[in-house]
Amino acid sequence: MPATSETKRISDTSCLRLQDRIGYCFQAPALLERALTHPSSTAEDDRDNERMEFLGDAILNLCVGQALYERYPHWNEGELTQVKSAVVSTVSLARAGENLGLRDVGRLGKGLPAHEPLPPSVYANLFEAVCAAVYLDGGLEAARAFVLRILGPEIRAIAENGREPNHKSSLQQLAQKREGVTPHYRMISATGPDHGKIFEIVAVIGNRKFPAGHGRSKKEAEQAAARRALEVLEAEYALAESSQAISISSESGRLSPRYHLPKATNGNGHAAAESEASGT
């Protein structure tokens, strides 16, 4: 049955919300739609995202590898490889895909029912495909900005600690350094049976709430909430630091890809503010 205009409108709204979360505005939204089409949802090989997963994997390795190469000039090949492998692992990419809410907008088949946990490999593949979509739409610099915006906290934490990142610790250090306050966490909800509750928690810095994190324990949800707050803050700080360069670029009349920051949200995940900027 063909999609109704109402279904199309809802789909467009979901697509726009996802663009807000990933911080990039697509000139060709069809690329994003293709990236979100899992093979289980279509019988047509040329309509799913498998080729984009392949390309996204290569782009992720390049962007993360270059970031590590430039940030840690004294590391040898083995050290660079070890950290890169952890950052682009299925676990890490699945976490990024889940935080972006890719399941909510992904086109998934009946073999992946909504009431069951989504396998990490599927989350990771969706994230890789979205990375490829950004690259195909905006080029390498757009893809690099997306990768470093989303995986930046993961890169720094694994590189500095040699282990899975402690997002709460990283957020505390950043907030105390840049804002002069210590974050605290507020539980929004706890749903599900006692043996399988899902907790929803937000990080709060001063009077500002950040996007909610979810987890099967309070500790896991707090880590997820801290990670989402880090993504928003680091994107804002990066924008502030590059504002002078952006102004110079605008005055010179050079064209550039269209970027905008993810929206800060209230505890229920609704948009609270919106910022947009052009980048080189």
CATH at 120 = 1.10.1520.10
Tally of domains in the chain: 2
Cα separation, 34 vs 36, in Å, equals 5
pLDDT tens for 184-208 read 999 999 888 877 788 899 999 998 9
Told to judge if 57 belongs to the known catalytic residues of this protein, a careful annotator would answer yes
What percent of the chain has pLDDT above 70? 75
Q: Are residues 132 and 241 in the same domain?
A: no
pLDDT tens for 240-256 read 665 544 454 455 454 44
**Helices 218-252 and 140-161, packing angle to 10 deg:** 140
User: pTM of the prediction?
Assistant: 0.57
What percent of the chain has pLDDT above 90? 27
Predicted pLDDT at 254: 45
Looking at 123, 142, 165, the residue that finishes a domain is 165
Query: What is the DSSP pairing of strand 271-273 with strand 264-265?
Result: antiparallel
Predicted pLDDT at 138: 94
Q: Are residues 83 and 176 in the same domain?
A: no
Q: Are residues 77 and 102 in the same domain?
A: yes
Told to judge if 48 belongs to the known catalytic residues of this protein, a careful annotator would answer no
Could you say which of 48, 53, 57, 137 is catalytic? 57
**DSSP bridge pairs for 186:** 202
Q: Are residues 134 and 212 in the same domain?
A: no
Domain that holds residue 35: 1-165
Looking at 165, 180, 199, the residue that finishes a domain is 165
Q: Are residues 183 and 89 in the same domain?
A: no
Looking at 165, 185, 218, the residue that finishes a domain is 165
Could you say which of 53, 128, 137, 222 is catalytic? 128
How big is the CA angle at 260 (ends 245 and 108), to the nearest 5 degrees?
A: 140
For residue 196, the domain's CATH number is: 3.30.160.20
